[in-house]
Structure 1
């Protein structure tokens, strides 16, 4: 875990993209820290918890989902004492996901039925060292458009092609905007030819709006970027 800026700490993504472990943010607060995403498994969540304790940060009190995809929510059952916050659309999806018979056998059956699920389901199998006591945790607190948490943290629904419930988390006093996967193309099994990054969504988040401007723009599967680095990325993708 590294200190990013202000009261924001960052547990980085796994450089091996086959493992599909995104970064997790910790927004420190003496009244109880805020997690942004849960890790891709209970094992990952336990490692993050150990790093939070080692860094001397206040224990988490709230957990915000940037969206419902498994690599962002499957660690939540290892955070039993936190309030889980997520968009209403994602909550309905996770209610259904929680009723599925997750386990290695079920993953094999689903993969046989739809080989396009291969990258995701093989990564899920690698992430889970045990299915004992595993549960998917739908949000306890739901929102539609935006929610402001204690300490001035702003949770904002932005949608997009990657996930309809995609949400960003702004920490204005630290100059950090946490993006989740909001501007990514759709997941592999839903992707069509020509699907790519949502450049208009990136531009809208870079432009000055009621969220403000930020020093750091952090998506889940890359290294944190400054505003100038995001503009360079935009230029390369637009070219």
Structure 2
């Protein structure tokens, strides 16, 4: 696991390409004034690997941690970043407080899957990702916003919502020409997905902007603006 330079101040650490692992990638906007980490890793163990990769790349430690949305594979590693301000949409804060109150354990996961078998892929991935439930702390954002926000280092946040998660946020780095999409255009999570649900291409079209050359989703390879436009046109 290591960080790769994408453009300008933006570095990426990809997640596991195996979809059954449900491991999102993370990004860092490196800045000597304090870096911005986008998403926290799927577990304390994953976050420790990200921290080691950050050190290996010689990147400045994060001062802010931005949640693209509240789903577990983006936030369960947050406790590994104790000295950061956590920033996220106000809707996600309420959802994460509810998640934090659940009695997470292997037994709880089994009971939930027994009650709703459609949860099995996600909950199986959680069981494999977390090596110690005592280390897990689900942390809501300490700084929230509604429509847009901007951090002191020129990183902009824009709430877009959508079917995948109501708090979905895109992260804009204008000086680097990079837009970090999280999972915003993905269909709903598998246990909530209907037969007609698919990617939200209309949202992607609205987000495409000549001021941004790179578009990065959390579970895919970065795409140039031309590649993104071609993909939308071909769908």
Partner of 1:84: 86
Alignment of 1:104-115 (within 5 A): 104-115=106-117
Q: Which runs of 4+ in 1 moved over 4 A?
A: none
- After superposition, the C-alpha distances for 1:16-58 in whole angstroms (9 at most, x for unaligned) are 1100111100000112110000010111111111111111111
Partner of 2:32: 30
Q: Aligned-pair RMSD on alpha carbons?
A: 0.8
Partner of 1:225: 223
User: Which of the residues 45, 57, 73 maps onto 2:47?
Assistant: 45
Alignment of 1:1-239 (within 5 A): 1-207=3-209, 213-237=211-235
| TM-score normalised by length of structure 1 | 0.96
Q: What SS is found at the alignment partner of 2:134?
A: coil
Query: Distance between the aligned counterparts of 2:153 and 2:62, measured in 1?
Result: 14
Query: Distance between the aligned counterparts of 1:35 and 1:48, measured in 2?
Result: 10
- Segments of structure 1 that go 5 or more residues without pairing to the other structure are none
Query: Distance between the aligned counterparts of 1:90 and 1:104, measured in 2?
Result: 24
- After superposition, the C-alpha distances for 1:103-141 in whole angstroms (9 at most, x for unaligned) are 111100111000010111011111111112311000000
Query: Distance between the aligned counterparts of 1:51 and 1:25, measured in 2?
Result: 12
Report deviation, 1:236: 2.4
Report deviation, 1:144: 0.4
Query: Distance between the aligned counterparts of 2:79 and 2:114, measured in 1?
Result: 28
Query: Distance between the aligned counterparts of 2:133 and 2:15, measured in 1?
Result: 23
Contact conserved, 2:44 with 2:135, CA < 8 A, in 1? no
Query: Distance between the aligned counterparts of 2:16 and 2:234, measured in 1?
Result: 24
| TM-score normalised by length of structure 2 | 0.97
